[in-house]
């Protein structure tokens, strides 16, 4: 007897995720004919295959076998994730038109394939609520971690930094043009579209592939620095979203601790173990204050951390225009807010230069190794021409290795951990040169102890610009 109920359920889940039968088959590792047989009730997948199906479709194994009628009464945690993914995809089409550039679709689908079985999309939606509260109070938030490097997070409004390559975009006719020779979209020239509308300049070139070594820890543990006074309201918005909008049927856990930073931090965990302290509803959560002290560690759970910044250096009544931010006088003031040595800050003339200065100030190299001298000795006009962040290292390797991502991932992993510099891995100079990497790359890779993520540097550089413009206006 054919199982039409399971077939209809599978069809509905597949369509909600936006997959064709062929795409689903590729992700699960079967033929499209097998998927067709399941959906028409001719056959049913084995249990191991069902587990892969559930993971790909973003649902629990039990939900995979629920009928639509039964599932609608459950609140459907996995189904709500699908709705959030659908909302992100809908915004992609609303921004870029019914036939967006293939690169946009591929970037979104790539992120979805890696993140859909995690809580990342839930955290993106929650952080968007925090950002909305911050905007209403005229404050910035600073996000630590690679969330700024996710196109999906940008579509969900969790970050204001578009991670795509430098590009111009027309909000009227939806046309997008990539400028692959540009380092950062904010530095592109101001232009009019053929339709008469001013083009939006955007894109910080943050490749998602640079974060794939630790997908879950990179995107399922989000730390935010927020302005003093909005923490309680921000948490309330997050909790309302989790319980009401998201229909969270899993427990949430709240922790508040003192920290060495000025102020406090508080962390919310999704799905803690049942033998831990937890709260099932908003009314049970205490006010965020010094008296709400719970210090139990919850490693392994998806989480959001808010650090309450007690200073007022994140309050700005009006978020300025791009032209105002990139005025030469503002760039010079922003340069002074950077903690880098002065020789890193000479001749700052673009947003990319400011990002590179941030990267240089946080990078760490072997004792006695001189970044400026190394650039000069190797015929580079400025140190900013070196890949000073993890993401830029990835792009340099990928460009040379012709998409050999396995080799690129291995090299990036060793550079990020400082393995070449510490002698924990052998830097294969011959392989790197054979790949087409610059002649100076092996020595450079062997000198790096630590590189900062570009997703951090972009955030810091932008904040310095906003502070500088605010100071100049006052």
Q: How far apart are CA 210 and CA 351, in angstroms?
A: 22
Check residue 3 and give its pLDDT.
53
Are 64 and 54 in contact, with CB atoms under 8 Å apart? yes
- Determine whether 402 is exposed, middle or buried from the number of CB atoms within 10 Å of its CB (0-12, 13-18, 19+): exposed
Q: At residue 298, does pLDDT exceed 50?
A: no
289 versus 431: which is more confidently predicted? 431
Check residue 345 and give its pLDDT.
61
167 beta partners: 178, 202
Are 178 and 103 in contact, with CB atoms under 8 Å apart? yes
Q: What is the CA radius of gyration of the chain?
A: 24
Give the Å distances, CA to CA, from 103 to 99, 116, 177, 227: 11, 19, 11, 36
Contacts of 53 (CB under 8 A, 6+ apart): 10, 24, 28, 45, 64
Contacts of 251 (CB under 8 A, 6+ apart): 271, 272, 274, 278, 279, 280
pLDDT 10s digits, 29-46: 888 888 888 887 778 888
pLDDT 10s digits, 244-280: 666 554 545 555 554 444 456 677 777 655 444 444 4
Check residue 31 and give its pLDDT.
86
Q: Which residue has the tokens 């599932």?
A: 71
Planar angle of CA 86, 89, 90, nearest 5 degrees: 85
Q: At residue 319, does pLDDT exceed 80?
A: no
Q: How many residues does the chain have?
A: 474
User: For 368, left (φ over 0), alpha (ψ -120 to 50), or beta?
Assistant: left
Are 256 and 294 in contact, with CB atoms under 8 Å apart? yes
Over range 411-423, report the average pLDDT. 91
What is the torsion angle, in degrees rounded to the nearest 10, for the CA atoms of residue 233, residue 238, residue 240 and residue 242?
-170
Q: How far apart are CA 50 and CA 55, in angstroms?
A: 9
Return the half-sphere exposure (C-beta side, CA atoms, 13 A cut-off) of residue 273: 7
Over range 40-56, report the average pLDDT. 81
Are 435 and 401 in contact, with CB atoms under 8 Å apart? yes
Q: At residue 301, does pLDDT exceed 90?
A: no
pLDDT 10s digits, 90-143: 999 999 988 899 999 999 999 999 998 888 998 999 999 999 888 888 788 888
Q: At residue 339, does pLDDT exceed 70?
A: no
Report which of 451, 243, 287, 288 is spatially closest to residue 355, judged by C-alpha positions: 451
**Dihedral sign, Cα of residue 280, residue 285, residue 291, residue 292:** positive
Over range 44-68, report the average pLDDT. 75
Q: At residue 318, does pLDDT exceed 60?
A: no
Per-residue pLDDT band for 209 (boundaries 50, 70, 90) equals confident
**Any idea which of 158-167, 292-301, 387-396 has the lowest mean pLDDT?**
292-301
Check residue 204 and give its pLDDT.
95
pTM of the model: 0.76
Check residue 218 and give its pLDDT.
75
Q: How far apart are CA 263 and CA 271, in angstroms?
A: 27
Q: How far apart are CA 288 and CA 238, in angstroms?
A: 13
Report which of 32, 33, 41, 47 is spatially closest to residue 10, judged by C-alpha positions: 41
Per-residue pLDDT band for 144 (boundaries 50, 70, 90) equals confident
Q: How far apart are CA 83 and CA 73, in angstroms?
A: 16
Helix and strand numbers (H, E) in the chain are: 22, 10
Give the Å distances, CA to CA, from 410 to 18, 237, 418, 436, 437: 32, 41, 12, 16, 15
- Determine whether 434 is exposed, middle or buried from the number of CB atoms within 10 Å of its CB (0-12, 13-18, 19+): exposed
What distance, in Å, lies between the first and last C-alpha atoms of the chain?
Answer: 77
Over range 203-219, report the average pLDDT. 84
**Tokens representing residue 225 in the block:** 């620095």
**How many C-beta neighbours within 10 Å does residue 290 have?**
8
Report the mean per-residue pLDDT for the chain.
79
**Any idea which of 58-72, 362-376, 453-467 has the lowest mean pLDDT?**
58-72
pLDDT 10s digits, 431-451: 899 888 999 999 999 999 999
Are 369 and 447 in contact, with CB atoms under 8 Å apart? yes
Instruction: Look at residue 309 and give its three-state secondary structure.
Output: strand
Over range 379-384, report the average pLDDT. 82
């Amino acid at each position: 007897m054919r199982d039409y109920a399971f077939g209809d359920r599978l069809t509905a889940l597949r369509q909600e995720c936006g997959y064709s039968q062929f795409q689903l088959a590729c992700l699960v590792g079967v033929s499209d004919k097998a998927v067709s047989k399941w959906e028409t009730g001719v056959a049913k997948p084995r249990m191991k295959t069902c587990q892969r199906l559930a993971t790909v479709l973003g649902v629990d194994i039990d939900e995979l076998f629920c009928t639509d009628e039964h599932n609608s009464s459950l609140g459907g945690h996995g189904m709500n994730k699908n709705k959030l993914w659908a909302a992100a995809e809908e915004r992609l089409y609303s921004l870029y038109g019914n036939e967006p550039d293939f690169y946009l679709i591929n970037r979104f689908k790539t992120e979805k394939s890696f993140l859909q079985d995690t809580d990342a999309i839930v955290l993106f939606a929650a952080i968007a609520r925090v950002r909305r509260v911050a905007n209403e109070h005229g404050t910035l938030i600073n996000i630590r971690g690679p969330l700024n490097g996710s196109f999906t997070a940008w579509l969900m409004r969790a970050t204001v930094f578009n991670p795509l390559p430098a590009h111009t975009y027309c909000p009227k006719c939806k046309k997008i043009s990539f400028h692959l020779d540009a380092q950062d979209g904010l530095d592109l020239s101001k232009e009019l579209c053929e339709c008469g509308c001013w083009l939006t300049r955007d894109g910080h070139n943050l490749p998602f592939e640079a974060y794939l070594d630790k997908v879950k820890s990179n995107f399922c543990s989000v730390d935010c620095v927020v302005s003093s006074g909005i923490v309680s309201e921000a948490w309330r918005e997050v909790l309302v979203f989790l319980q009401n909008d998201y229909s969270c049927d899993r427990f949430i856990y709240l922790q508040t601790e003192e920290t060495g930073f000025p102020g406090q931090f508080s962390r919310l965990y999704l799905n803690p173990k049942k033998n831990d302290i937890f709260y099932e509803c908003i009314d049970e959560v205490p006010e965020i204050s010094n008296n709400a002290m719970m210090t139990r560690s919850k490693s392994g759970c998806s989480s959001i951390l808010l650090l309450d910044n007690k200073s007022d250096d994140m309050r700005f009544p009006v978020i300025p225009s791009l032209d105002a931010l990139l005025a030469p006088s503002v760039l010079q003031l922003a340069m002074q807010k950077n903690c880098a040595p002065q020789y890193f800050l000479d001749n700052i003339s673009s947003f990319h230069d400011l990002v590179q200065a941030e990267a240089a100030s946080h990078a760490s190299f072997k004792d006695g190794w001189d970044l400026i001298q190394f650039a000069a000795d190797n015929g580079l006009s400025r140190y900013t021409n070196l890949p000073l962040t993890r993401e830029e290292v990835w792009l340099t390797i990928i460009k040379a290795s012709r998409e050999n991502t396995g080799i690129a991932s291995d090299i990036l992993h060793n550079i990020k951990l400082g393995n070449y510099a510490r002698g924990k891995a052998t830097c294969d100079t011959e392989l790197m040169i054979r790949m087409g990497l610059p002649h100076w790359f092996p020595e450079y890779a062997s000198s790096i102890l630590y590189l900062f993520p570009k997703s951090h540097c972009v955030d810091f550089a932008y904040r310095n610009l906003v502070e500088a413009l605010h100071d100049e206006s006052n």
